[in-house]
Chains A and B, each alone.
Chain A
Amino acid sequence: MSTDTLPVLTPKDFASDQEIRWCPRCGDYSILAQMKKVLPTLGVPREKIVFVSGIGCSSRFPYYVNTYGFHTIHGRAPAVATGLKIARPDLQVWVITGDGDGLSIGGNHLMHAIRRNVDLKIILFNNQIYGLTKGQYSPTSPLGKKTKSTPYGSVDAPLSPLSIAIGSEASFVAKSVDIDINHLTMVLERAAKHKGTAFVEVYQDCNVFNSGVFEFAQKKDVKADNCIYLEHGKPLIFGTKRDKGIRLNGEGQPEVVNLSEVKEDDLLFHNEKTEEPSLAFMLARMRYPTMPEPMGIYRDVQRPVYDQEMDNQVKQLIAKQGPGDLNAVFNSGDTWEVK
């Protein structure tokens, strides 16, 4: 089906008939709403879209979207999605995962899907807590975090999802926030259009077990002072009055400077297309409250896409060797006749 014959769909067309079972005011509702807004704009028929998830609160997502969907097992969504995408390169495959699902039990699959650059859109809902098992710390919970399994504070050092993604040679890396509606919509659209693995971390509020930890990036009155909204080709400027910027100091480290003292041209300019991932990695290390935290597209480069490469290899071999002939294969090598 070509896209120009597509019926015009609305977000409602992507709502399934299932009752949503997330807690009231969970950040997941907003992410679902923005996704439903983005899907009709992509020019992809509904039946060609598949949502694959693992286990956890976020992983219930596929039940609530009226596309094809697969709620798999804990941590394995990237592997299921990889198999599906290799088998069916014609589909648009989204992976919905969380900080526990994607980075703890499923860390291995996430890393390998990203380094292969399978054409998957991986959305990791990071709420820094295990919600569905009722409140244990996760691999992204900060040191000292008091939870049910760490009543005296966590001594378990956290990891940064974007650092993992960039370290795994991700071709598309972005970060957004659940209730930052327009920003999240923009990021999801960009992810959908990327060829290869798009990895998106979304800060998501678990209002039951970890409420308010992302207020720095959610609240309208403070987020502009705490976050830098990345724009390709533009200098890194932030602040409610847009009076602060990021410059590399003499040691090559990012530092906050006041624009009244430093010219814009001396600031660090964002380039999401840089092949070399060091800039993106440095941005991924900038975390609130030590530094203003970058939001948006960190990296968007092109490199060979695994499922496409495999498909091409098969097609090229068929073109070169001809379609497989069982009799020819069986009769190759040494054979003999018994009369």
Chain B
Amino acid sequence: MSTATVETSHPQGGNGKPLESMDAVVIRFCGDSGDGMQLAGTQFTNVSAVFGNDVCTFPDFPAEIRAPAGSLAGVSGYQVCFSNNDIYTPGDEVDTLVAMNPAALKTNLCDLKRGGTLIVNEDAFDSGNLFKAHYGENPLDTQAVAGYRLHRVSMTRLTRDAVEGLGLSQREADRCRNFFALGLVYWLYERDPKATKEWILSKFGKNQAIVDANVRALDAGYNFGFSTESFTVHYQVAPAKLAPGKYRKITGNEAVAFGLVTAAKLAGKELFYGGYPITPASDVLHELSLLKNFGVKTFQAEDEIAAITSIIGAAFGGSLAVTASSGPGIALKGEGIGLAVMTELPMVIVDVQRGGPSTGLPTKTEQSDAFITVLGRNGDCPVPVVAAQSPGDCFDMAYEAMRIAVEFMTPVFLLTDGYIANGAEPWRIPDVSTMKPIKVVHPTQSNTDEGFKPYWRNEKLARPWAIPGTPGLEHRIGGLEKADGTGNISYDADNHQHMTLLRKKKVADIANYIPEQTVNGPESGDLLVVSWGGTYGAARSAVEACQRNGKSVAHCHLRYINPFPKNLGEMLKRYKRVIVPELNAGQMWFILRGTYLVDAISYAKIKGKPFLVSELVHEFERVLSGDTTRQEWSYTPNTCSTTISNS
């Protein structure tokens, strides 16, 4: 094989090989944490999105930055579904699996559909790596890979050949293997590698040898597909028919940051972000730190408690204040959030949910913070909660959370999760000029004849946001119970009951200022599927599949968790059965039952992974058939999972 040069462009077409059209394809890249699989996946996604496909991604990586090379614990994967139609999930089954070593094969092969394409780096299947993956013999020579279209590619050797003469160490040369794999997949799915070459240049531009090496590896992979006998066919996925407009790819964490900055801009205020690094929320801090020319101040606090309390201070000072964290951090912030409720200051607390309890599964997704956000904290401590349903929706809900916070003078939770925070989808770029401004009022005059009363309320029960620097409105607030109106310390029994109910009513009445709940499907029928937050895509796809099978099923997807939309209770009663699928042990199910006395059924998945459409369809059809036995608790240790620990 000749070595490619930087200038070498890829040959056009498929070298006379047949081109098949597909509606949707699911690819997963998997390898060691240091193999650059997230990068390969991201590049493929970008290229597909710009090509015009609808895309949906699922990055899945271990908590360890670099677990021992070749180990099962160190496997990192990136799944992307790209389609010529609207898609809402990254796909249940993988069409093409790229496995860079035996451990990656072992932990991912079970997700490859029968007859799917399996591309492996044959060179990595040496005795050391086979041992680390607990393979007794090379699986490529056994029945383990029977039933798949196996391509044994000597990626390490071919990559080294491609970069020969550039003066790279062997280690540096091997780091280019992900681009070889990417180039091969680009050929397989008719993608233009040009954008990736441009990215390589912008990323490594200062180091010409590295630029040349990565470009050569990419071309080598592409040319390998083009010329080798092993690949007899390649595929085409036409652009999707998305709503007209200008698009970009966006992850949930990016969208949260954009939404918050947009809210601040539309409020004419400075944004203050106080946060402490935590997986999977840190990217919100990273994104906002880049946007300082919007007047954004980002404060990396000493701990989660300082993060929440610093934003309380900033909110008191008149900034639009925000913090982001995940479960363990939200637990630490609890007392501070209580102070924010007591002092009725506006702020947004983003909770990017991950597997719990305790440290739990830091890099895996879960929806298990419904309780702590809706019900957590000491005392009667109501906080509005909204939940984003997809990466792009994080933008809208971040704006919405800030709107509610400012309009009602209250802290607001925005729930996202690891799946939508790291996952990406096409995002139609909004026209900010058409978005509704957020009205902020800082009083400058006393609100009563007897002087300024900081706990005097408007028709929405919101108190005035008077800020330091305003002459004549000097006042003191704090965590002790407030006398109604004056805000002075009060231990009066009746006042405490009155204030507790007032705080509760203020939050409950927000239901009058949010959209009514809608359903996708019949207004009444056999089954209502109630999902919330990041499970939107899977639930919607599963319900639509059932509807295509003629079933009487509707989908109610909640984005407003506290308060619920005011028509929800009535809606739940219009269906014979209600099922609540969620990625926890039944938290929203419990809250809905408690709120509405509805005999809902729980469908719980607590594996650190999003729902598959197929498992939801199966469950919905089981319930529709009249089988309402509770979900069984069975456990079979599953060796085909990236969550295997090597301890």
Where the two chains meet, the residues of A that have a C-beta atom closer than 8 Å to any C-beta of B are 16, 18, 45-48, 50, 52, 55, 62-63, 66-73, 76, 79-88, 90-91, 108-109, 111-112, 310-311, 313-314, 317-318, 320-324, 326-327, 329-331, 333-339
Tell me, yes or no, whether B388 is within 8 Å of chain A by CB: no
- Chosen A-B contacts, 21 in total, with CB atoms closer than 8 Å, are A47-B473, A70-B478, A72-B312, A76-B305, A79-B305, A82-B299, A86-B299, A88-B317, A112-B301, A314-B295, A314-B296, A321-B293, A324-B291, A324-B293, A326-B432, A335-B50, A335-B247, A335-B248, A336-B50, A337-B247, A338-B239
Tell me, yes or no, whether B306 is within 8 Å of chain A by CB: yes
Tell me whether B471 and A45 are in contact (CB under 8 A): yes
Q: By CB atoms of chain A within 10 A, which of B241, B246, B468, B480 has the most?
A: B468
Tell me whether B478 and A310 are in contact (CB under 8 A): no
Tell me whether B299 and A83 are in contact (CB under 8 A): yes
Tell me whether B261 and A324 are in contact (CB under 8 A): yes
Q: A70-B477, A334-B50 are in contact. Are A323 and B294 (CB under 8 A)?
A: yes
Tell me whether A326 and B262 are in contact (CB under 8 A): yes
Where the two chains meet, the residues of B that have a C-beta atom closer than 8 Å to any C-beta of A are 46, 49-52, 195, 239, 241-249, 258, 261-262, 265, 270, 272, 274, 291-297, 299, 301-303, 305-306, 309-314, 316-319, 321, 335-336, 338-339, 343, 429-430, 432, 467-480, 488-489
Bound Cα distance from A327 to B247, whole angstroms: 12
Bound Cα distance from A48 to B306, whole angstroms: 23
Q: A45-B471, A69-B476, A88-B469 are in contact. Are A330 and B309 (CB under 8 A)?
A: no
Bound Cα distance from A87 to B302, whole angstroms: 17
Contacts of A84 in B (CB 8 A): 313-314, 316-317, 468
Tell me whether B468 and A82 are in contact (CB under 8 A): no
Contacts of A68 in B (CB 8 A): 468, 474-476
Tell me whether B295 and A318 are in contact (CB under 8 A): yes
Contacts of B296 in A (CB 8 A): 314, 324
8 Å CB contact of B306 from A82, A85, A91: A82
Bound Cα distance from A52 to B262, whole angstroms: 31
Q: A335-B246, A336-B50 are in contact. Are A313 and B292 (CB under 8 A)?
A: yes
Tell me whether B317 and A91 are in contact (CB under 8 A): yes
Bound Cα distance from A18 to B476, whole angstroms: 10
Tell me whether B265 and A83 are in contact (CB under 8 A): no
Contacts of A321 in B (CB 8 A): 293
Closest beta carbon of chain B to A48's beta carbon, Å: 6
Tell me whether A314 and B249 are in contact (CB under 8 A): no
Closest beta carbon of chain A to B145's beta carbon, Å: 36
Contacts of A76 in B (CB 8 A): 305-306, 309, 336
Tell me whether A334 and B294 are in contact (CB under 8 A): no
Contacts of B309 in A (CB 8 A): 72-73, 76, 79-80, 83, 109
Contacts of B343 in A (CB 8 A): 70
Contacts of A324 in B (CB 8 A): 261, 265, 291, 293-296
Bound Cα distance from A329 to B427, whole angstroms: 13
Contacts of A69 in B (CB 8 A): 475-478
Closest beta carbon of chain A to B481's beta carbon, Å: 12
Contacts of B474 in A (CB 8 A): 46-47, 66-68
Closest beta carbon of chain B to A96's beta carbon, Å: 12
8 Å CB contact of A83 from B292, B312, B480: B312
Tell me whether A329 and B258 are in contact (CB under 8 A): yes
Contacts of A330 in B (CB 8 A): 248, 258, 429-430, 432
Contacts of A72 in B (CB 8 A): 309, 312, 339, 478-479
Q: By CB atoms of chain B within 10 A, which of A63, A87, A314, A331 has the most?
A: A87
Closest beta carbon of chain B to A51's beta carbon, Å: 8
Q: A73-B336, A88-B317, A334-B49 are in contact. Are A83 and B246 (CB under 8 A)?
A: no
Tell me whether A47 and B470 are in contact (CB under 8 A): yes
Bound Cα distance from A76 to B311, whole angstroms: 12
Tell me whether A334 and B249 are in contact (CB under 8 A): yes
Tell me whether B52 and A338 are in contact (CB under 8 A): yes
Q: By CB atoms of chain B within 10 A, which of A18, A66, A317, A339 has the most?
A: A317
Bound Cα distance from A334 to B470, whole angstroms: 46
Bound Cα distance from A84 to B293, whole angstroms: 20
Tell me whether A82 and B310 are in contact (CB under 8 A): yes
Q: A50-B468, A83-B321, A334-B248 are in contact. Are A70 and B316 (CB under 8 A)?
A: yes
Q: By CB atoms of chain A within 10 A, which of B245, B246, B302 has the most?
A: B302
Tell me whether A79 and B301 are in contact (CB under 8 A): yes
Bound Cα distance from A90 to B469, whole angstroms: 8
Task: Write the chain A residue with the least CB distance to B239.
Answer: A338
Tell me whether A47 and B314 are in contact (CB under 8 A): no
Tell me whether B335 and A83 are in contact (CB under 8 A): no
Q: A70-B478, A71-B477, A335-B246 are in contact. Are A86 and B432 (CB under 8 A)?
A: no
Closest beta carbon of chain A to B311's beta carbon, Å: 6
Closest beta carbon of chain A to B294's beta carbon, Å: 3
8 Å CB contact of B476 from A47, A71, A85, A310: A71
Contacts of A55 in B (CB 8 A): 479
Tell me whether A63 and B469 are in contact (CB under 8 A): no
Contacts of A18 in B (CB 8 A): 476, 488-489
Tell me whether B302 and A109 are in contact (CB under 8 A): yes
Contacts of B469 in A (CB 8 A): 47-48, 88, 90-91
Tell me whether A79 and B50 are in contact (CB under 8 A): no
Closest beta carbon of chain B to A122's beta carbon, Å: 14
Bound Cα distance from A16 to B261, whole angstroms: 38
Bound Cα distance from A72 to B50, whole angstroms: 50
Tell me whether A47 and B471 are in contact (CB under 8 A): yes
Bound Cα distance from A151 to B1, whole angstroms: 85
Tell me whether A338 and B313 are in contact (CB under 8 A): no
Tell me whether B318 and A87 are in contact (CB under 8 A): yes
Task: Write the chain B residue with the least CB distance to A323.
Answer: B293
